[in-house]
Copies of this chain bind each other. A is one copy, B any other.
Amino acid sequence: MKAKVYITPKAGILDPQGLTIERSLPALGFEGVTNVRVGKYIELDLPDGDAAGEAVDKMCHKLLANPIIEDFEFELVPE
């Protein structure tokens, strides 16, 4: 099955990339955009099974996200 993982900067934590995007939007003609947060979106395929969710959760904890500065969520999509 497929897992979709969303990694976001932790609330309240500085996001230099988001900030820069937010600042550059008005010059491109987009007014009023706020709270831009840039995170990661990871897709992967893994073997079907009951343990899949647990495996992805572990992967996120161990490797894909850094819990000091990032939150994560994921969903499993059967194919």
Interface residues of A (CB under 8 A from B): 6-8, 18, 21-22, 24-25, 28, 30-47, 55, 58-59, 62-64
Minimal beta-carbon separation of A39 from chain B (angstroms): 4
Interface centre among A44, A55, A63 (most CB of B within 10 A): A44
Query: A73: shortest Cβ distance to chain B, in Å?
Result: 10
State how many angstroms separate the Cβ of A25 from the closest Cβ of chain B.
7
Q: Is A35's CB under 8 angstroms from B43's CB?
A: yes
Looking at A34, A41, A58, A59, which has the most chain B CB atoms within 10 Å of its CB? A41
Q: A62 to chain B: closest CB distance in Å?
A: 6
A79 → B minimal CB distance (Å): 11
